[in-house]
Amino acid sequence: MKPLNRFFVFVYYVVGFVVGLLHPVSIEGMEKLPESGVLLCPNHSSNWDPLLLGLRLPVNYRLHVMAKEELFRNPILSWIIRKLGAFPVSRGENDINTVRTAMKAIKDGDNLLIFPEGTTIRNGIGYADGLPAHAKAGVAVIGVRTGATLVPVFVDGEKRLFRRTRIIFGDPYQPRYTGKRGTSEEMQKIADGLLAEAYALGGQAVGGKPL
C-alpha cells in the first residue's frame, strides 16, 4: 500500500478543522466499516455532503469520491476536493473514463463514495432536473463488477452553519444477483434498495420525507 501523500494529510487536517467548526458532525456506525473495497452510498442533499463525510472518515481510509462536475468549476473548491480524493463525473453522459476510475479505486483496495441519486435532493425534488428522487443503476453496476462491499449512509438534509449534522453508516453487505453480472433489472433493484436503506437510517423515505 502506498504511503499517504503529506500534502493530502495537511489538507485533510486543516480543512477538516475549519469545516468541523462551521458544520459540526455526529457519527454513528463507523465502527462497522470494512477497511477496504467499500462502496459508500449516501443520500445527497447538499454540496457539503462529500466534504462532511470524507473528512470524518479516518485519514488513512483512502476514500475516492465520484462528484458532479459542477463542483469542479470553482477553482478553490475543485482544488480542495481533488486533494481529498474526488473526481468529476458528467451527469447524463456515458462517461467511460469516470467509471474506469471508480472501478480501479475499489480494485486497488481503496474505497469509493457514490451518491446513488446523482444529484442534490431536497424534499423529494432534484435541483438539477426537477425529477423525483430516484437511484441510478450505475452505482450497483460498479459495485457488482468490482465485488465491492456496499454500505448505505444517511446524511442529514438541511445544512446550517454551526448546526450539527448527523451521519449514520448502515450495515455492510454484498448484493445478490443472478449470473456473473446480473440483469439490468437486478442492478436497478440493488440501487433502489441502497437508496431506500440510506434514507431509512435517518427515519426518512426516499427523497427525504419522514417515514
> What is the full DSSP assignment across 68-92?
EGGGGSSHHHHHHHHHTTEEEE-TT
pLDDT tens-digit profile, the chain (211 residues): 677 888 889 989 998 999 999 999 999 999 999 999 999 999 988 888 988 999 999 999 999 998 878 878 889 888 877 887 888 887 655 678 888 889 999 999 999 999 998 877 765 444 444 455 689 999 999 999 999 999 999 999 878 899 999 999 999 999 999 998 899 999 999 999 999 999 999 998 886 667 6
Which residues on neighbouring strands pair with residue 63, listed in sequence order? Answer: 111
Q: CA-to-CA distance for 174 and 41, rounded, in angstroms? A: 13
Look up the pTM and report it: 0.88
Q: With H, G, I as helix, E, B as strand and everything else as coil, classify residue 20.
A: helix
For 55, left (φ over 0), alpha (ψ -120 to 50), or beta? Answer: alpha
Q: CA-to-CA distance for 80 and 28, rounded, in angstroms? A: 25
